Structure 1
Amino acid sequence: MPPFSDTPVFDGHNDVLLRLRRSNKEDPVAAFLNGDTEGHIDLPRAREAGFAGGLCALYVPSPSRQKDADGNFPTPAQPEALNETMAMARLLFDIERRSGGGVTVCRTAADIRRAFADGSFAAVFHIEGAEAIDTDLDALHVFHQAGLRTLGPVWSRQNAFAFGVPFAFPSSPDIGPGLTDAGKALIRACNELKIMVDLSHMNEKGFWEIAAISDAPLVASHSNVHALCPHSRNATDRQLDAIGDTGGLIGINFGALFLGRDGSRDTSIGIEPLLDHIDYVANRIGIDHIALGSDFDGTMIPAVMKDCRGVRLIIEGLKSRGYDAEALAKVTHENWIRVLETTWGA
Structure 2
Amino acid sequence: MREPLILDGHNDLLTRLLQRGGLSATADFARSDAGAIDLARARAGGFGGGFFAVWAPSPMDASARMARMQGDSYDMPLPPPLGHGEASAIVAEEIAILEALQQAGHLRICTDTAMLRETLGSERLAAILHIEGAEAIGPDLAELQGLHDRGLRSLGPVWSRETIFGHGVPFRFPSTGDTGPGLTDAGKRLVAACDEMGIMLDLSHLNEAGFRDVARLSRRPLVATHSNAHAISPHARNLTDAQLDAIAESDGIVGLNFACAFLRPDGRMRSDTGLDIVLRHLDHLLDRLGEDRVGIGSDYDGALVPKALTSVADLPALRRAMTDHGIGPETMAKICHGNWLRVLAKSWD
Taking only aligned residues, the RMSD between alpha carbons, in angstroms, comes to 1.7
Shift of 1:273: 0.5
Shift of 1:63: 3.3
Partner residue, 2:69: none
Partner residue, 2:82: 76
1:177 to 181, 184, 199: 181
Describe the shift of the 1:5–1:312 C-alpha distance in structure 2 as closer, same or farther (beyond 3 A). closer
Describe the shift of the 1:157–1:54 C-alpha distance in structure 2 as closer, same or farther (beyond 3 A). same
% same residue: 42
**Per-residue Cα deviation, 1:7-35 (whole angstroms, up to 9, x for no partner):** 00000000000000000478211111x22
Shift of 1:70: 8.1
Aligned residues: 338
Give the 3-state SS of the residue equivalent to 2:191 in structure 1.
helix
Which stretch shows the higher mean deviation, 76-85 or 58-67?
58-67
Shift of 1:232: 0.2
1:27 matched to 2:24: yes
Partner residue, 1:304: 308
8 Å Cα contact 1:15-1:296 kept in structure 2 = yes
1:112 to 109, 116, 130: 116
Give the 3-state SS of the residue equivalent to 2:171 in structure 1.
coil
Partner residue, 2:261: 257
8 Å Cα contact 1:153-1:161 kept in structure 2 = yes
Give the 3-state SS of the residue equivalent to 1:251 in structure 2.
strand
Give the 3-state SS of the residue equivalent to 1:304 in structure 2.
helix
TM-score normalized by the length of structure 1? 0.95
Shift of 1:321: 1.1
Inter-partner Cα distance in structure 2 for 1:125 and 1:192: 18
Look up the equivalent residue of 1:18 and give its one-letter code.
T
**Per-residue Cα deviation, 1:210-260 (whole angstroms, up to 9, x for no partner):** 000000000000000000000000000000001111110100100000001
Look up the equivalent residue of 1:59 and give its one-letter code.
W
Look up the equivalent residue of 1:76 and give its one-letter code.
L
Consecutive unaligned residues in structure 2, runs of 5 or more: 66-74
Inter-partner Cα distance in structure 2 for 1:80 and 1:13: 23
8 Å Cα contact 1:177-1:205 kept in structure 2 = yes
Inter-partner Cα distance in structure 1 for 2:289 and 2:23: 47
Partner residue, 1:190: 194
Describe the shift of the 1:247–1:25 C-alpha distance in structure 2 as closer, same or farther (beyond 3 A). closer
Inter-partner Cα distance in structure 2 for 1:283 and 1:106: 31
Structure 1 residue runs of 4+, over 4 Å off? Answer: none
Consecutive unaligned residues in structure 1, runs of 5 or more: none
Partner residue, 1:40: 36
